[in-house]
Amino acid sequence: MKILLVEDDPLHAAFLRDAVAQALPEVSQILTAENGREGEAMARRDVQAVVMDLQMKERNGIDAARTIWSERPDTRILFWSNYADEAYLRGLTRIVPSGSPYGYVLKTAPVQRLHLAMRAVLVEGQVLVDREIHRLQQRQARPTQGLSESEYSVLLDMALGLPDREIARRRGMSERTVQNRLLALYDKLAVDLPGDAPAMNKRVRAVACALASGALNVEALRIAEREMLDWLKRLPELG
């Protein structure tokens, strides 16, 4: 079995190598990459399993995993990260191919938990997420608490500066539907302040609340920016 470790911190990379040696004695070769771009190239060397950091300076783990899965959807990927943000989880669930084993374990988890995750995902082909990540999934599944996918799409477009009319055009909604999604966002993100507070721009405050709560993060906005620019380029052909 060949495994690829994608981690830009040398100490963390060394820790992962030791963890693989302890948890996966069947591994015959360990490859390493220092960033997502290098990881994409290394993954083409008949690699069946990957441990991937999420936040890296040159191409993040979500983008790298998307490329790897687009070329080899059977690749088993365990994400190992400091971040439990809702935005990261949404980014991952959007790119995982149907039926593909994957996992998400926090770097703060005990080493035994990391060993368990490595075996479960990379060897046994299971789906495994850390307890804190699982709580986020449960919250998303409750409509009164988590943001729906359409609400999240409207939030992203609003954060990028699109007005209601352009959000409606991009997402295939009516303007009234966009406005209804905005009202739901304001409620779920607790945008309103006490009655004696000064008037606020709700759109700006919604973005601030989303960033503070982890529903949005910088990586999610970077990815959304690229996707929006691609959409803008295709507008003439879309009519």
Instruction: Please identify, among 120, 140, 160, the residue that sits at the C-terminal boundary of a domain.
Output: 140
Could you give the angle at the alpha carbon of 51 between the alpha carbons of 91 and 25, nearest 5°? Answer: 150
Question: Does residue 224 share a domain with residue 124?
Answer: no
- Reported as a pLDDT band with limits 50, 70 and 90, residue 44 is very high
Question: Does residue 22 share a domain with residue 136?
Answer: yes
Checking if the pLDDT of 238 tops 70, the result is no
pLDDT, one tens digit per residue, over 119-177 is: 999 999 998 876 655 555 555 444 445 788 889 999 999 999 999 999 999 999 999 99
What does the mean pLDDT of the chain come to?
87
Question: Does residue 84 share a domain with residue 159?
Answer: no
The pLDDT assigned to 193 comes to: 76
Question: Does residue 136 share a domain with residue 20?
Answer: yes
CA distances from 73 to 52, 124, 173 (A): 15, 16, 31
Instruction: Please identify, among 140, 167, 189, the residue that sits at the C-terminal boundary of a domain.
Output: 140
Question: Does residue 120 share a domain with residue 7?
Answer: yes
Question: Does residue 116 share a domain with residue 18?
Answer: yes
CB 53 within 8 A of CB 78: no
Q: Which residue has the higher pLDDT, 145 or 118?
A: 118
Instruction: Please identify, among 140, 160, 195, the residue that sits at the C-terminal boundary of a domain.
Output: 140
Residue 160 structural domain: 149-238
Residues 98-104, mean pLDDT to the nearest whole number: 87
The pLDDT assigned to 180 comes to: 93
Could you give the angle at the alpha carbon of 131 between the alpha carbons of 130 and 135, nearest 5°? Answer: 120
pLDDT, one tens digit per residue, over 191-235 is: 987 776 677 899 999 999 998 888 888 878 888 898 899 898 888
The pLDDT assigned to 143 comes to: 44
Question: Does residue 7 share a domain with residue 27?
Answer: yes
Q: Which of 152, 142, 8 is nearest to 80 (CA)?
A: 8
The pLDDT assigned to 139 comes to: 52
Query: Which range is least confidently modeled, 7-21, 23-37, 60-74, 183-197?
Result: 183-197
Question: Does residue 127 share a domain with residue 15?
Answer: yes
Question: Does residue 223 share a domain with residue 111?
Answer: no
For residue 71, what is the domain's CATH number? 3.40.50.2300
User: What's the total number of domains in the chain?
Assistant: 2
Question: Does residue 130 share a domain with residue 28?
Answer: yes
Give first-to-last CA distance, the chain, whole Å: 49
Question: Does residue 160 share a domain with residue 109?
Answer: no
Find the helix packing angle between 149-159 and 218-238, rounded to 10°.
Answer: 90
Residues 97-120, mean pLDDT to the nearest whole number: 90
For residue 204, what is the domain's CATH number? 1.10.10.10
The pLDDT assigned to 181 comes to: 93
Question: Does residue 211 share a domain with residue 162?
Answer: yes
Q: Which residue has the higher pLDDT, 131 or 189?
A: 189
